[in-house]
């Protein structure tokens, strides 16, 4: 099985050179099988997706998939190469502060409703085909007027021309110092049991700019419009997209990558993208909650923090999960201060530096109870 | 006339020390005169407000105002001291990318409606008093739970405890390389003729997180609720707030500061905060449009830009207002490329470095026609 | 035992406020015992020294020392609070790129020679007293002409006014992802056996700007001058200074801090700064080599690196100690490339992000053989 | 006259892609005429060199040169694209703080002396040829062991393989907010009268890492060695190199570029690289001093600075050349403080942001008297 490569231009430098990303293409053996789009590292410090892609490529080279698979490993050269000190400030555009993962295109809802009306007599397959095609045209039209596009939008739209052609989209991310978790559309809850992700956040039809939302929300809007109009085949989108959070940033971990890759392969087998023999859902405990259950806990004081509890751990309301050391305040206020959880929850993500000014997100807590 | 000073804590460092800002208090001679709150440099590179404050202080020391005036010159020590190379990256939190000027508190609209119902029989003066008081309590309640507040919110809420007590709020900003312009609530259009700001953007009741909006939108919501309930005194808010854009960032210009300060004093005289003798509206041409007329024009290619037209200039659709130099592309594509205006408009703001990657905002154009 | 605190001004912000650091003073019971100066976190991301100081303070509160001890925990507020993304870019001045730990004052060698001549008939105690006093005067004279001092020098000189009064100076640092190691003057090799530092780098009389060198080199110059002039008491300096590298940056680790603190206490007991009962040299294997044996190994290609060997491990020439993953190059060049050690050595320090452009220091290798 | 282009690889990204720079080649009509190497923007914010190159290219296209000319416009893609906020932090490697212009290769002096001995009987032309050839081999040998090279060295050595083959090297830089000035080897003082640079700093044989020094110092060392050995043709190097400081950073100014380009062309005519008709030395007053006369004046307090005097102006000892505004200190200390020149001198360079912490270089003063 060979992997083809092409290059996609996603921006231009100050000297007029192109920022280009490598796109890997794996041809499936069955033209009718679902097509998959995978990208990694839109946030520049979130590297682990590339290790997962390495595992997937090894698999695909030995076992050709049924469906076409398109992979963009380091999809954001502007974020990925913005190092400051040892680390990568790749979460937001260093010029503007705009989060790199908030710039995708969602077709206008009014337009979607109109599209549904116009295609009421078409079959579902025809509708899917036409919707993808029109959506792609919208992206191309937007890209033809670059003066209206920020560089985040420009890059995202270019990548989205690839994603829009797929039936499944996986956007590989990581947290700071984090557990493995998954953002999934609520309607795709069945699918989450095939991934190797211990924590699952279910999302409703709310678009905030990220690729997973930009990918599934339009299909959900279309389904809703078709249902409202009484289209007989409309139930839930055939399309699925996920943000797969692979653990801790700024590192690659081959053991974890193997687990995650096997989970992804299991999901792809479930969706008939690869042969059924790879369907082997990881037997792990999953904590599945609405995405609103993920709550930011900001450092209530400035200092150096040590964690008593780690990402993946559960904490009870009132339980000390971290301590704040303030040696310079010795004698004036307490030097080591306990930080207590405000409610029962799992620590899903923790700040990856001990030096934390007041008001910076210390942890993300996944509330157990609503 | 003396100026008193106090300190306001707006954050904490990683060693547990306080970030404190200097608050200047000028006592007015008339307890019934409107109170004014002025702050500068929430965006760290936007320095000119401090030069304007210097002019105002010189005035107030000679001519005591009628109303109390509270001034916070360098209101954001975290943004103002974040230098990278020679310049100040003070527009967004360097940790998160969050724009420092998007974090103010707007009371919940449902709560405002309920407040209006409960105060239907009160006089306007009583309502204003109660509304300010309740709003302040909301800020204090939020500040009492720091784990829920990002450091941008924490700082903004602290400053807002001062702003909320005023009748007039002026937030002093600058553009990049920019003309003098003004964001004003649409209902306060009469007031804009007292300022020395050539370009005026009128805002509706839409809250995006900035101080001017956070200051006037709640009053507008309250008025709307009172009008809907038929309160006899409800017409338009007594309260006014403005973002005053003072020109170019990273510099202080005393000549421009004097013009702007005189405009502000003229406005304050109009509002009876200072004696009527200072009412002397600058005789300048003003371009007043809805804020939606301000449009970003992104660099359509990466390169080095030189401006043919400058901030303040008008450009016609199709007119060349800048050129893009790409010497490294010599022989492959054009080396000097004309950039044309997409519509008739004023250049209000221009990027302050010639080195511009594709997709970075080259200028802000103020559309002449809708 | 109480700890007193004072504040030392080390700079000024753009609004004219002082940058102040907290100085902790512990009074010794014996005025003749050696005085100690300890500082931490000149490089802002190197936090662990504060955890060690926390351990030391707990000890001193229970067991008063014989000699005076002065501690500056977070000694560099400008570097310590310069966060970019989650991490602290605290290694160099973000305005100039100047390493924060290269700015200390070393009295001019010609002046030292002259001083030796002038004090040839004085006792060693008198000489030490006079040398400290004159050195301090030089610092004060330099600080009196601020226009000649960069802010790195300004801060360093201020701190050095404290260090110069001590007999022992400990500068607490960390590596990136690192083993515990120690920079020691070659003449103080006896002392290294009391610290809990597995790797030791011996330094000659070569001043590069760091605090340890700035502290011991002048004394060594003085001794050399006195020996050359035949002063009977001149053998080796009574003064000692060390840079103590405490492991990995951006974290605090209380277990490691306890080990290191016990090592420091053991050394202080050896030097009669605290009671003899705390003399308890850690029984660890120490690798002691000249500082020139520490060699930078730069990433020979750009990619994502995973380490087969860890800080503290030994590697043989030709042994694979890391691998470079380049998924985007899949099909064009090898995707996973072995990185081999060029000689036998210990990995003492490793880059703390897996994303490494070509030419960035991958590891510091401590050469086993010359 | 056509301009050919090739690409030179100067580094690798974190995904393994090459950083490549565009190299422009203009073939001269006379193989014996001196060869010229020109590069621009090693410091990423110093853009004006590209505008000068644009002028030079226009000239060369109309009037083919006698000697070969090699031009690298944007020579540092890593520095040039490191934007933070609007500006370019391109002066130092953002990972390490290392100044991008301190990494060139200077052959070892011992080796040069040995080379001179071995070539004592060769003609000057043969010596020059052999010296260039051996130097180039040293660069290639170093580049063959990338693990020993930081990315600054790697890039500089690659560029230097081009520079080493030339007889004249021009490195185009700018100051912050600056006058036009020139660094020249003292032995090449005759040449400075052809450039359009008002201020000239003469350099001795002292290598600090910059390209101009790395280019002429080895030739000076060689001359000295040949003179010491009594070679009959040894007087002064035929080779010349200059750092041409083109004014203010972060901008391109075509008027200034035309002046500077004409100066460069005049110099090239003087050196017989282009036809004699272009010899037309600019009639400007030049201030020529030893490079040690350029003195840094650091901000003696933190605040906002306005300049009374501008780059290019002369100031007398005690004359106020700037004022420091500290509104936040109003009432506590003076709010507007005069800054006086410590000696007679020209302001050659000024900080390009008004927001200046204590200890940051406010201006560079060129001392009039020794």
Q: Name the residue facing D24 among B24, B330, B351 (closest C-beta).
A: B330
Of A360, A6, A350, which is closest to residue A178 (Cα–Cα)? A350
Angle formed at CA D353 by CA D351 and CA D354, multiple of 5 degrees:
100
Q: Cβ separation of D17 and A22 shorter than 8 Å? A: yes
**Most B-contacting residue of C74, C81, C97 (CB-CB within 10 A), to test interface:** C81
Q: Name the residue facing C330 among A57, A83, A90 (closest C-beta).
A: A57
Q: Name the residue facing D15 among A73, A83, A84 (closest C-beta).
A: A73
Chains interfacing with C (3 or more CB pairs < 8 Å): A, B, D
Number of inter-chain CB pairs under 8 A, A vs C: 157
Is pLDDT at C51 greater than 70 in this prediction?
Answer: yes
- Tell me the per-residue pLDDT of D157-184, one tens digit each, with 9 for 90 and over: 999 999 999 999 999 999 999 999 999 9
The two tokens of residue B264 are 């502000």
HSE at residue C18, side-chain half, CA atoms within 13 A, is 9
Chains interfacing with A (3 or more CB pairs < 8 Å): B, C, D
Q: Does D355 touch chain C (CB under 8 A)?
A: yes
HSE at residue A155, side-chain half, CA atoms within 13 A, is 33
Q: Cβ separation of B326 and A16 shorter than 8 Å? A: yes
Place of tokens 């309930």: B229
- For the residues B173-198, what does the mean pLDDT come to? 98
Is pLDDT at A2 greater than 90 in this prediction?
Answer: no
For residue C124, with 0-12 CB atoms within 10 Å meaning exposed, 13-18 middle and 19 or more buried, which class applies? middle
- For the residues B197-204, what does the mean pLDDT come to? 98
> Using an 8 Å Cβ cutoff, are D279 and D270 in contact?
yes
Place of tokens 């698979």: A69
Q: Does A335 touch chain C (CB under 8 A)?
A: yes
**Cα–Cα distance list, A225 to A106, A213, D14, D191 (Å):** 15, 18, 44, 78
User: Which residues, numbered 303 to 322 in chain D, qualify as contacts with chain C under a Cβ-Cβ cut-off of 8 Å?
Assistant: 303-304
The pLDDT of residue D1 = 66
Helices (H) and strands (E) in chain B, counts: 7, 20
Average pLDDT of chain C to the nearest whole number = 97
> Using an 8 Å Cβ cutoff, are C174 and C168 in contact?
no
- Residue spans of alpha helices (H) in chain B: 48-62, 77-80, 109-118, 124-143, 151-163, 211-229, 254-270
> Using an 8 Å Cβ cutoff, are C33 and C83 in contact?
no
The pLDDT of residue B99 = 98
Does this complex have an ipTM over 0.90? yes
Residues 6+ apart with CB under 8 A from C43: C76, C79, C90, C91, C100, C101, C173, C174, C249
Q: How confident is the model at residue C244 (pLDDT cuts 50, 70, 90)?
A: very high
> Using an 8 Å Cβ cutoff, are C185 and C220 in contact?
yes
Which residues of chain C lie closer than 8 angstroms to D16, CB-CB? 301-303, 326, 328-329, 333
Q: Cβ separation of D11 and C359 shorter than 8 Å? A: yes
- Give the gap in angstroms from C-alpha D203 to the nearest C-alpha of chain C: 22
CA–CA separation, C147 vs D323, rounded Å? 14
A138-171 exposure pattern, b = at least 16 Cβ within 10 A, e = fewer = bbeebbeebbbbbbbbbbbbbbbebbbebbbbbb
- Tell me the per-residue pLDDT of B156-173, one tens digit each, with 9 for 90 and over: 999 999 999 999 999 999
- Tell me the per-residue pLDDT of D80-103, one tens digit each, with 9 for 90 and over: 999 999 999 999 999 999 999 999
Which residues of chain B lie closer than 8 angstroms to A149, CB-CB? 298, 359
Chains interfacing with D (3 or more CB pairs < 8 Å): A, B, C
Q: Cβ separation of A355 and C89 shorter than 8 Å? A: no
Q: How confident is the model at residue C370 (pLDDT cuts 50, 70, 90)?
A: low
The pLDDT of residue A332 = 78
- Give the gap in angstroms from C-alpha A278 to the nearest C-alpha of chain D: 30
- Give the gap in angstroms from C-alpha A202 to the nearest C-alpha of chain C: 27
Q: Cβ separation of D15 and A77 shorter than 8 Å? A: yes
Q: Name the residue facing C355 among D14, D146, D327 (closest C-beta).
A: D14
Q: Cβ separation of D94 and A80 shorter than 8 Å? A: no
The pLDDT of residue D332 = 78
Q: How confident is the model at residue C369 (pLDDT cuts 50, 70, 90)?
A: confident
Q: Cβ separation of B17 and C82 shorter than 8 Å? A: no
Q: Cβ separation of C14 and D333 shorter than 8 Å? A: no
Residues 6+ apart with CB under 8 A from A158: A8, A9, A10, A143
The two tokens of residue D169 are 């090297």
CA–CA separation, A312 vs A197, rounded Å? 11
Which of helix, strand or coil describes residue C370? coil
From the centroid of its chain, how far is CA D164?
A: 15
Pairing of strands A320-325, A336-340: antiparallel
Q: Cβ separation of B250 and D353 shorter than 8 Å? A: yes
Average pLDDT of chain A to the nearest whole number = 97
Is pLDDT at A361 greater than 90 in this prediction?
Answer: yes
- Tell me the per-residue pLDDT of A26-69, one tens digit each, with 9 for 90 and over: 999 999 999 999 999 999 999 999 999 999 999 999 999 999 99
Give the neighbor-by-neighbor strand order of the sheet with D303-307: D336-340, D320-325, D303-307, D355-356
- Give the gap in angstroms from C-alpha A76 to the nearest C-alpha of chain B: 14
Q: What is residue D189's DSSP assignment?
A: G
Is pLDDT at B50 greater than 70 in this prediction?
Answer: yes
Query: What is the number of other CB atoms lying within 10 angstroms of the CB of residue C73?
Result: 31
User: Which residues, numbered 194 to 233 in chain A, qualify as contacts with chain B under a Cβ-Cβ cut-off of 8 Å?
Assistant: none
> Using an 8 Å Cβ cutoff, are D362 and C150 in contact?
no
Is pLDDT at C185 greater than 80 in this prediction?
Answer: yes
Q: Which pairs with CB-CB distance under 8 Å and at least 24 residues apart come from A293-296?
A: A293/A201, A293/A345, A293/A366, A293/A367, A293/A370, A294/A201, A294/A348, A294/A364, A294/A365, A294/A366, A294/A367, A295/A343, A295/A345, A295/A364, A295/A365, A295/A366, A295/A367, A296/A361, A296/A364, A296/B150
| C87: nearest CA partner in chain B | B95
Of A294, A61, B298, which is closest to residue C331 (Cα–Cα)? A61
The pLDDT of residue D331 = 81
Q: Name the residue facing D87 among B4, B53, B353 (closest C-beta).
A: B353
C22-48 exposure pattern, b = at least 16 Cβ within 10 A, e = fewer = bbbebebeeeebbbbbbbbbbbbbbbb
Q: Cβ separation of C95 and B85 shorter than 8 Å? A: yes
CA–CA separation, D49 vs D257, rounded Å? 8
- Give the gap in angstroms from C-alpha C269 to the nearest C-alpha of chain A: 23
Which residues of chain D lie closer than 8 angstroms to C315, CB-CB? none
For residue D332, with 0-12 CB atoms within 10 Å meaning exposed, 13-18 middle and 19 or more buried, which class applies? exposed
CA–CA separation, C112 vs C130, rounded Å? 12
Residues 6+ apart with CB under 8 A from B370: B290, B293
Q: Name the residue facing C352 among A54, A86, A351 (closest C-beta).
A: A86
Q: Cβ separation of D74 and B332 shorter than 8 Å? A: no
Is pLDDT at C1 greater than 80 in this prediction?
Answer: no
The pLDDT of residue C333 = 77
Q: How confident is the model at residue A335 (pLDDT cuts 50, 70, 90)?
A: very high
The pLDDT of residue D2 = 82
CA–CA separation, A208 vs A214, rounded Å? 8
Is pLDDT at A1 greater than 80 in this prediction?
Answer: no
- Tell me the per-residue pLDDT of A71-90, one tens digit each, with 9 for 90 and over: 999 999 999 999 999 999 99
Q: Cβ separation of C301 and D16 shorter than 8 Å? A: yes
Q: Where are the beta strands (DSSP E) in C193-342?
A: 199-203, 240-246, 287-290, 294-298, 303-307, 314-315, 320-325, 336-340
Is pLDDT at A370 greater than 90 in this prediction?
Answer: no
User: Which residues, numbered 88 to 117 in chain C, qualify as contacts with chain A under a Cβ-Cβ cut-off of 8 Å?
Assistant: 88-91
The pLDDT of residue D370 = 66
- Tell me the per-residue pLDDT of C57-111, one tens digit each, with 9 for 90 and over: 999 999 999 999 999 999 999 999 999 999 999 999 999 999 999 999 999 999 9
Low-confidence residues of chain D, pLDDT below 50? none
Query: What is the number of other CB atoms lying within 10 angstroms of the CB of residue A95?
Result: 27
- Tell me the per-residue pLDDT of B248-304, one tens digit each, with 9 for 90 and over: 999 999 999 999 999 999 999 999 999 999 999 999 999 999 999 999 999 999 999
- Tell me the per-residue pLDDT of C102-121, one tens digit each, with 9 for 90 and over: 999 999 999 999 999 999 99
Q: Does B1 touch chain D (CB under 8 A)?
A: no
- Give the gap in angstroms from C-alpha D101 to the nearest C-alpha of chain B: 15
The pLDDT of residue A369 = 79
Q: Does B152 touch chain C (CB under 8 A)?
A: no
The two tokens of residue C155 are 């801060």
The pLDDT of residue B370 = 65
- Tell me the per-residue pLDDT of C136-183, one tens digit each, with 9 for 90 and over: 999 999 999 999 999 999 999 999 999 999 999 999 999 999 999 999
What residues form DSSP beta bridges with A243? A171, A183
For residue B285, with 0-12 CB atoms within 10 Å meaning exposed, 13-18 middle and 19 or more buried, which class applies? exposed
Dihedral pair phi/psi, residue D349, rounded to 5°: -145, 140
CA–CA separation, B46 vs A311, rounded Å? 40
Which residues of chain A lie closer than 8 angstroms to B296, CB-CB? 148, 150
The pLDDT of residue D73 = 98
The pLDDT of residue B333 = 77
């Amino acid at each position: 099985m060979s992997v083809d490569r092409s290059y996609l231009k996603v921006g231009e430098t100050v000297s007029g050179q192109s920022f280009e990303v490598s796109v890997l293409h794996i041809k499936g053996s069955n033209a009718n099988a679902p097509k998959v789009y995978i990208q990694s590292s839109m946030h520049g410090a979130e590297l682990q997706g590339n290790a997962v892609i390495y595992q997937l490529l090894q698999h695909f080279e030995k076992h050709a998939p049924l469906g076409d698979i398109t992979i963009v490993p380091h999809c954001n050269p502007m974020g990925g190469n913005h190092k400051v000190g040892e680390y990568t400030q790749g979460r937001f555009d260093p010029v503007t502060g705009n989060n790199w993962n908030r710039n995708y295109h969602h077709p206008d809802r009014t337009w979607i409703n109109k599209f549904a009306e116009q295609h009421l007599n078409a079959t579902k397959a025809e509708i899917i085909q036409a919707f993808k095609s029109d959506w792609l045209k919208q992206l191309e039209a937007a890209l033809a007027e670059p003066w209206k596009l920020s560089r985040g939008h420009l890059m995202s739209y270019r990548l989205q021309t690839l994603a829009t052609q797929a039936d499944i989209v996986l956007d590989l991310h990581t947290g700071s110092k984090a557990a493995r978790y998954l953002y999934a559309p609520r309607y795709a809850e069945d699918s989450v049991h095939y991934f190797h992700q211990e924590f699952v956040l279910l999302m409703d039809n709310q678009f905030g700019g990220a690729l997973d939302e930009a990918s599934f929300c339009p299909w959900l809007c279309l389904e809703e419009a078709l249902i409202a109009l009484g289209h007989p085949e409309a139930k839930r989108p055939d399309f699925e997209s996920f943000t797969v959070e692979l653990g801790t940033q700024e590192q690659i971990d081959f053991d974890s990558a193997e687990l995650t890759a096997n989970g992804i392969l299991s999901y792809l087998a479930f969706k008939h993208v690869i042969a059924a023999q790879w369907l082997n859902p990881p037997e792990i405990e999953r904590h599945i909650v609405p995405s609103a259950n993920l709550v930011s806990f900001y450092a209530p004081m400035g200092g150096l923090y040590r964690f008593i509890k780690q990402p993946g751990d559960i904490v009870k309301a009132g339980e000390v999960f971290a301590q704040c050391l303030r040696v310079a305040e010795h004698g004036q206020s307490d030097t080591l201060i306990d930080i207590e959880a405000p409610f029962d929850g799992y620590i899903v993500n923790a700040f990856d530096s001990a030096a934390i000014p007041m008001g910076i997100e210390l942890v993300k807590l996944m509330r157990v109870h609503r």
